[in-house]
Amino acid sequence: MRKLLLVVILFFVLPMSYAQSVQEEYIKKYCQVAVEEMTRTGVPASITLAQGILESGSGTSQLSIKGNNHFGIKCHSDWTGGKMYVDDDAKNECFRMYHNASESFRDHSDFLRNNQRYASLFQLDIKDYKGWATGLKKAGYATSPTYATRLIEIIERYNLAQYDSGTFVPASKPTRYYTSNGFELSMTEYSLGSNNNTQYIVLKYDMDIEVLSRKLGMAPWQLPKYNDLPKKCKVKAGEIIYLKPKRNKAEKKYAEHVVSRGETMRDISQKYAVKINSLYKLNGWEQGVQPVEGSKVRLR
């Protein structure tokens, strides 16, 4: 009888402990970016973290793993970035794809801040997480009738409201890592990634390209040349900046690209880490010609 009781306890307790551990790890990993987004846009960090936990299964959903989409944001007509198709409320729905989780958190904040449907939420006290949760459901962020209740439960279970004070301070010694060129980076300013075997960074704040070059110990001409930018310009937060020359062709899995509205050759070049000159040669086009919406651009 005792053995049976022990088995029953383990059957129920271990999965609960694992789930809690996953959620706590998620909070630990993303609390800093949630606070930074709160400072930038006014979206409470508790709401951001709770939505991330709920929408992405604490980073375990296929949408977050394959598409870095932590908030279940769908494409909508104005979306020009990457896309993936998943069965949700309907079959084969279009969801946004991001290069990394930080882009997803930033787009989530901008999505709420720039959408008229959620304008009234920004009139609430930033510590009123219950008002925010209720307002999100009322504005139609999710179809579940218990959406607000579930957000509030997550916030209270993990004491996420503590991050809404804006006084959360990261570790005194920020985590640092290095690019393949040996440049030392701090995760408080950059995130690091690779595309088509070409390393890049994504800034968390706007920065003059000259300042960025100095911070990375690079010659003033390198970043503008590698990224087809003017020698004097401001790099926007969230923009991919390659640290090495791009490739002459895309990865094997990308044979061609269908042009979206407003996309330029530089946009395509940055998306696939392929040099603009190579794209013109691959397509037999004259330099400076811009692609037409719906046309196909050869990538290799």
Q: What pLDDT tens digit does each residue of the chain (300 aa) get?
A: 444 433 443 344 434 444 457 888 899 889 888 988 888 888 999 999 999 999 999 888 889 888 999 999 988 887 888 989 887 767 888 999 998 889 999 999 989 988 889 988 988 888 899 999 999 999 999 888 999 999 999 999 999 998 887 654 443 344 444 454 555 555 556 777 788 888 888 888 788 888 888 777 788 899 999 999 998 888 888 888 998 899 999 998 889 999 998 899 999 999 999 999 999 999 999 998 998 989 999 999
Contact 172, 234 (CB under 8 A): no
Give the pLDDT of residue 209: 87
Domain 13-71+102-165 CATH (choose: 3.30.70.60, 3.40.50.300, 1.10.530.10, 3.40.140.10): 1.10.530.10
Give which of 266, 274, 283, 263 is closest to 228, Cα–Cα: 266
Residues with Cβ within 8 Å of 81's Cβ and at least 6 positions away in sequence, in order, are 96, 97, 98
Bridge partners, residue 177, by sequence = 185
Amino acid at 207: M
Q: In what order do the strands lie in the sheet with 198-203?
A: 190-195, 198-203, 240-242
CATH fold of 256-298 reads Membrane-bound Lytic Murein Transglycosylase D; Chain A (3.10.350)
Task: Please state the length of the chain.
Answer: 300
Alpha carbon distance 227, 232 (integer Å): 13
Provide the pLDDT for residue 188.
59
Q: What whole-number distance in Å separates Cα of residue 48 and Cα of residue 118?
A: 14
Q: pLDDT value at position 187? A: 55
The b/e string for 116-147 (b: 16+ C-beta within 10 A; e otherwise) is eebeebeebebebbbbbbbbbbebebbeeeeb
Residue type, 226: Y
CB 218 within 8 Å of CB 206: no
- Give pLDDT, residue 77: 80
- The helices-and-strands tally (H runs, E runs) of the chain is 10, 11
Which residues of the chain does CATH 3.10.350 include?
256-298
Residue among 218, 234, 283, 295 at smallest CA distance from 259 = 295
The whole-number pLDDT of residue 61 equals: 87
What whole-number distance in Å separates Cα of residue 280 and Cα of residue 277? 5
How many other β-carbons are positioned within 10 Å of the β-carbon of residue 261? 10
Q: What is the pLDDT of residue 177?
A: 45
pLDDT of residue 172: 38
Domain ranges in the chain with CATH number 1.10.530.10: 13-71+102-165
| pLDDT value of residue 296 | 93
Distances (CA, A) of 225 to 41, 180, 246: 32, 19, 10
Q: What is the pTM of this model?
A: 0.53
